[in-house]
Amino acid sequence: MQSYPKQTFALPALDGISPAQLAVHLDLYAGYVTNLNKLRDTEGDLMQDPERNAYALAEVHRRLAFEFDGMRMHEIYFAQWEGQPAPAVPVGPLAMALAQQFGSYEAWEHQFKALGMRRGIGWTVLYFDAKLQVFINAWVDDHEHGQLTGLPVLLAMDMWEHAYMVDYAPAKKADYIAAFFRNLNWSVAEQRFWTVAGQRFLKVS
Ligand SMILES: [Fe+2]
């Protein structure tokens, strides 16, 4: 069976996210890939006799979404820092579209950051629903609970404590959120938006 590869990321030196923090986090990401591949192998073995292995298979399938989404969300996350930091351009298609829905780019960013400050571990995610041509800010518990089916992720902010606790105490997670945005290469989110919405969105705007 084909295995998922561990991706590498072309990350610059980050402002407010230390190399030690990054190393810990990248190791955790690698663990999700390893565990996902193991789960898929195990599933293949257990499926030799699914009736006899029903209980074990149920556990494999329960964990599959956790490991898969853990892998994929981190790939989305680290890719947002690749290249070099580039803030949102007010006249860029994504910032303009966000401003149209939320009143201003800053209003959207304020809401997104506020969502990140909620208690618990998970992800703050900006989705785009092409069906209604709307953005949705959402919270995802763990990696998989609360994902919105079929909607592409434009931006994902990891709010697990492992994402920042090497550098920041839990009470200082607002500082981590600020660092997350300072280091963002906004053009990555722009490209994601363009891929899913592109000219269609601009036409109806
Ligand atoms: Fe993480």
Question: What integer is the mean pLDDT of 174-189?
Answer: 97
Distance CA 73, CA 64 (A): 14
Same domain, yes or no: 109 and 28: no
Give, in degrees to the nearest 5, the angle at Cα 88 between 85 and 90.
150
Distance (angstroms) between ligand 1 centre and the Cα of 50 equals 33
- Predicted confidence at residue 91, as pLDDT, reads 84
Q: Is position 162 within any domain? A: yes
Residue 199: pLDDT band (50, 70, 90) is low
Distance CA 16, CA 19 (A): 10
Same domain, yes or no: 60 and 151: no
- Predicted confidence at residue 201, as pLDDT, reads 54
Question: What integer is the mean pLDDT of 30-41?
Answer: 98
Q: Domain span at residue 125?
A: 93-204
- Predicted confidence at residue 202, as pLDDT, reads 52
Distance (angstroms) between ligand 1 centre and the Cα of 49 equals 35
- Which residues, in sequence order, are CB contacts of 34 under 8 Å at separation 6+? 6
Q: In terms of DSSP bridges, do strands 153-158 and 122-129 run parallel, antiparallel, or are they unpaired?
A: antiparallel
Distance (angstroms) between ligand 1 centre and the Cα of 203 equals 37
Tokens of 155: 């931006």
Helix, strand, or coil (residue 18): coil
Least confident of 59-73, 134-148, 185-199: 185-199
Q: What does pLDDT average to over the chain?
A: 95
* Residues facing residue 157 across a β-bridge: 124
Q: Is position 174 within any domain? A: yes
- Which residues, in sequence order, are CB contacts of 32 under 8 Å at separation 6+? 67, 70, 71, 74
Same domain, yes or no: 101 and 154: yes
- Predicted confidence at residue 55, as pLDDT, reads 97
Say which CATH number the domain at 188 has: 3.55.40.20
Distance (angstroms) between ligand 1 centre and the Cα of 100 equals 31
* Residues facing residue 156 across a β-bridge: 125
Distance (angstroms) between ligand 1 centre and the Cα of 119 equals 16
Question: What integer is the mean pLDDT of 164-168?
Answer: 98
Question: What integer is the mean pLDDT of 29-50?
Answer: 97
- List, for residues 87-121, the tens digit of each pLDDT value: 888 888 999 999 999 999 999 999 999 999 999 99
Q: Is position 10 within any domain? A: no
- Predicted confidence at residue 88, as pLDDT, reads 85
Is 73:147 a contact under the CB 8 Å cutoff? Answer: no
Distance CA 195, CA 160 (A): 28
Q: Is position 199 within any domain? A: yes
A 10 A CB-CB count for 6 gives 15
Distance (angstroms) between ligand 1 centre and the Cα of 29 equals 7
- Predicted confidence at residue 205, as pLDDT, reads 45
Distance (angstroms) between ligand 1 centre and the Cα of 70 equals 8
